[in-house]
Amino acid sequence: MHPALSVIIFTTASGTGYGLLVLLILLNINGLLPTSSGLGLAGFGVGLTLVTAGLLASTFHLGHPERAWRALSQWRSSWLSREGVVAIATYPAVGLFAIAWVFTGNTSGSWSLVGIVAALLAGATVACTGMIYASLKTIPQWHNFLTPTNYLLLALTGGAVWLMVIANFFSVGGNLPALLSLILLPLAWALKQAYWAYIDKVPSQHTIGSATGLGALGDVNLLEPPHTEPNFVQKEMGFKIARRHAKKLRKTALFLAFILPLALTAGVLVTSGTLNTLLALLALLSVSAGLLTERWLFFAEATHVSMLYYGGAKAQ
């Protein structure tokens, strides 16, 4: 599948933003983060900016962005529509909780209920994003449970690293934000490995023989394509990364998204002062670059069954 930059930026930025919001809210209502206005302002400021920037980026690949509001109407059948609805519903819930935090300094009692609703909505938005891809039967690499779980865990992991940087800046939360990154990074790493292991051996249900229905007559091969230049379907669905490049990029993604941030986070735990802040910032830079690489690969390694009609031997 063609890796569109706007969609890569959208899923990584929004995902990380939602992850940060979920962690901020849940840690705070459990008394693990102070309800200080500076932390609230920075945390919700960064979270909502990432979410909004991502959502705006997602409209860049639309043919008619001015009609984007129409995408809220078909929540009964479409995961994309559900994502839009839940994303919009998240704003007032997070907004209310953020106002209570920053301006009243009180997030207990019924405010914590608002917080739980906000965190659930933020998580649900990321789950909907994952389901947009997982629901497509036409793309074997995506059509499985690992897709939405990867989206959710990677969102939380990106959010945790952001939280570490912000908490570090305000010197709050003690070791907890760094410990959280130290737990989430290996988990996300393992889940991404599981996804890659799955797509490397995903059984190819469809072949050129079953796609054309001619398989029973003999061995089917494309003799002549329908036209000389690639059409929309081939440009959009036919993008395929060479296996050797994929291997290198997987290693790059692993290193930047998980291994390096893990080492840097461990450093954050044992250092203090300027070095501490620097290590946290480097971890954030690394994880951001790693997630962008991971997301690019998510598209580039996905294949579409329609390519069987253009000479693909099997959809894998």
Residues near another protein, by CB under 8 A: 1, 61-65, 67-68, 70-74, 76-81, 84, 132, 135-139, 205-206, 208, 210-214, 217-227, 229-233, 236-237, 304-310
Q: How far is the CB of 300 from another protein (least distance, A)?
A: 15
The minimum distance between CB 192 and another protein, in angstroms, equals: 22
Q: What span, in angstroms and rounded, lies between the C-alpha atoms of 98 and 70?
A: 28
Torsion on CA atoms 30, 33, 39, 43, rounded to nearest 10: -60
Of 58 and 90, the one with the shorter C-beta distance to another protein is: 58
Which residues, 6+ apart, have CB-to-CB distance to 148 below 8 Å?
A: 127, 130, 131, 133, 134
Q: State the nearest-atom distance from the C-beta of 83 to another protein, in Å.
A: 8
Count CB atoms within 10 A of the CB of residue 31: 10
Nearest distance, CB of residue 249 and another protein, angstroms: 22
Give the closest residue to 107 by CA, choosing from 269, 220, 99, 203.
99
Cβ neighbours, 10 Å, residue 235: 11
Per-residue exposure over 302-314, b if at least 16 CB sit within 10 Å of its own CB, e if not: bbbbbbbebebeb
Tell me whether residue 45 or residue 230 sits nearer to another protein (CB atom).
230
Between residues 71 and 281, which has the closer beta carbon with respect to another protein?
A: 71
* Least distance CB 235 / another protein (angstroms): 8
Q: Give 155 or 305: the residue with its C-beta nearer to another protein.
A: 305
Backbone angles phi, psi at 73, to 5 degrees: -90, -25
Residues across the chain: 316
* Residue that is written with structure tokens 């579409």 in the block: 304
Name the residue nearer to another protein (CB basis): 206 or 250.
206
CA dist., res. 302 & res. 314, Å (int): 13
Partner residues linked to 314 by β-bridges: 207
| Of residues 218 and 273, the one with the C-beta less far from another protein | 218
Task: For another protein, give the closer residue by CB, 62 or 190.
Answer: 62
Q: What value, to the nearest 5°, has the Cα angle with vertex 190 and ends 47 and 133?
A: 60
Closest contact distance (angstroms) between CB of 277 and another protein is 41
In sequence order, the 6+-apart residues with CB closer than 8 A to the CB of 162 are 16, 19, 20, 46, 47, 50, 284
Q: How far is the CB of 310 from another protein (least distance, A)?
A: 7
